[in-house]
Structure 1
Amino acid sequence: MTDRQEGSLYTTIDKQLAITTFGHPNANSFPLELLRRLTKEIDMLSENKDVSIILLRSEGDRAFCAGASFDELLAVSNEAEGKRFFEGFAHLFLAMRRCKKLIIGRVQGKAVGGGVGLLAALDYVFATEALSIKLSELSLGIGPFVIAPVILRKAGQAALNELFMAPDQWKSAYWAQQKGLVARVFENNKDMDEGIEHFVTTLLKSNPIALSEMKRVTWQHTGHWEEELIENAAISGRLVLSEQTRLMLEKLKNK
């Protein structure tokens, strides 16, 4: 299904591997409807007996995910709308957390804000040297409140601090790998795709029940996210209405 404003999302399933691809003309950013569709898709694949592993990827060769849609952030007119929008990311991360299947990531370019959170919520990440990441929220007058617990789980407090306190600094693919956000880095897409194919083929030979149980074990001690991420979405929903945030969003949108 494709709509220029809402973005695209489609899944193919072959030999127990589900390949889910999302896209949006604005650097694969997420309007709320696309967040909701991806959340629903992950929940469906979690229960699909014909699927053992999910490969999540985005369209194009440049940006992996630019995070939240600036257009929708600017359209927020009250706290309830703001909370609802940021809850979209919260519910997506919660779906990835509860998913019974391993979710492997294919990252071919830049990730910003919510895109970094998405990357951190993946179970295993392949990337190319074209990956670079940053959390720009603080420079917009808000903060990465929904994203923070996800990055904290994967990369630790020091990495989270380095990202959110330096919203203007890009971190390289090898920095992300060193911090545990990325498992393997390749020179180009061709080498990455070959690496993914070999990796997935090997995993699919494993007992799917064992894979599902290991997924559960690796996400232990995150039950509090059910409340924490929603509470944090409310904080972002309030701050997005500030004058500073509106001015910065307009400035970035018009670049």
Structure 2
Amino acid sequence: MPSAEASFETIALTTLAGVARVTLRRPEVRNAFNEAVIAELTAAFARLGADPEVRVIVLAAEGKAFCAGADLNWMKAMAGYSWAENKLDAERLAQMLWTIYSCPQPVIARVQGDAYAGGVGLLAVCDIVVAVETAGFCLSEAKLGLLPATIAPYVVRALGEQASRRYFLTAERFSAQEAYRLGLVHELADAEALDAKIAALAGAISANGPAAVRACKRLVQDVAHQAITAELRDDTARRIADIRASSEGREGVQSFLGKRAPNWLMPTND
């Protein structure tokens, strides 16, 4: 199946056999955010989220760093912003993060280098994070007299409250091994094995029922940290009833019992 490409200035977007790849393309500034990056990432993930042919999305970056947070020139411009202008600017970043976090398809982060400040937030909104063992991480905002407010809802969920207390306050750099121990990173790989690990995860997701995968992603987001009330128990019972009664759910059970491949499997490129 040929790759489908979309034209952007700061990112690249391609799709192949149900796997979309969004790549940050500003290696000269360590893939730092500015208004254009934020707008294009928001647009790309909104487009992909509405595409039923896309099963999984890989978020990647060019160059030595994954994402260094805010672009210096953008920060210089912000120094002259009014309160209202700063609020509007932060709202655009918040919308970008939410668009990725709430994207119906699973998002895998391919972390080939350092992620700082907003770059850590970008990882925290992804569903699976695979990083090279040499990557470094830092929530550096306090060093500049700022705070990681917009990314905090996602980073605290990913790192946990206690680790967030430490790294928000100290702005220390921490290793990929520490990020893995804390749960921000799910898999570590050397640089040569990174793409194979990403491909294996994307393949595993693509082999599952696409509607079920989307429902699983939403399920985790909806039930995390919720009290197990009668309302929640009823909601989960409704969800499993809905998927069992769906055409995909029936096909999945029938194909399993019939010892055949389900009809949602993507064709191979062989």
TM-score (norm 2): 0.76
Unpaired segments of 5 or more residues in structure 2?
Answer: 1-6, 225-270
2:227 aligns to what? Answer: none
CA contact (8 A) 1:23 1:29 kept: no
Q: Distance in 1 between matches of 2:105 and 2:33?
A: 23
> Please, what is the CA RMSD of the aligned residues?
1.4
Q: CA deviation at 1:52?
A: 0.8
* Alignment pair present for 1:164 and 2:172: no
1:74 aligns to what? Answer: 76
1:11 aligns to what? Answer: 13
1:33 aligns to what? Answer: 36
1:113 aligns to what? Answer: 117
2:54 aligns to what? Answer: 51
1:173 aligns to what? Answer: 176
CA contact (8 A) 1:53 1:204 kept: yes
* Alignment pair present for 1:22 and 2:24: yes
Q: CA deviation at 1:180?
A: 0.8
Select which of 191, 194, 201 maps to 2:193.
191
For residue 22 of structure 1, what is the amino acid of its counterpart? Answer: L
Q: Distance in 1 between matches of 2:91 and 2:33?
A: 12
Pairing of 1:234-253 with structure 2 (within 5 A)? none
Q: Distance in 2 between matches of 1:154 and 1:220?
A: 15
Q: Distance in 1 between matches of 2:220 and 2:100?
A: 12
Q: CA deviation at 1:221?
A: 6.2
Q: CA deviation at 1:23?
A: 2.1
Q: Which has the larger radius of gyration?
A: 2
2:251 aligns to what? Answer: none
| Deviation digits for residues 48-105 of structure 1 (CA, Å, limit 9, x no counterpart) | 0110100110112x11001111211211221122222222321111102221100011
| Deviation digits for residues 202-243 of structure 1 (CA, Å, limit 9, x no counterpart) | 221110001100111122269xxxxxxxxxxxxxxxxxxxxx
CA contact (8 A) 1:22 1:58 kept: yes
1:130 aligns to what? Answer: 134
Residues paired across the two proteins, number: 215
RCO higher in structure (CA 8 A, sep ≥6):
1
1:93 aligns to what? Answer: 97
TM-score (norm 1): 0.81
1:150 aligns to what? Answer: 154
Select which of 205, 210, 213 maps to 2:212.
210
Q: 1:2 to 1:17 in 2, by over 3 A?
A: closer
Q: CA deviation at 1:39?
A: 0.8
Q: Distance in 2 between matches of 1:72 and 1:221?
A: 37
| Deviation digits for residues 92-133 of structure 1 (CA, Å, limit 9, x no counterpart) | 111022211000110011111000000111100110012111
Q: Percent identity?
A: 32
| Deviation digits for residues 5-63 of structure 1 (CA, Å, limit 9, x no counterpart) | xxx21211111100111122211001012101101110110010110100110112x11
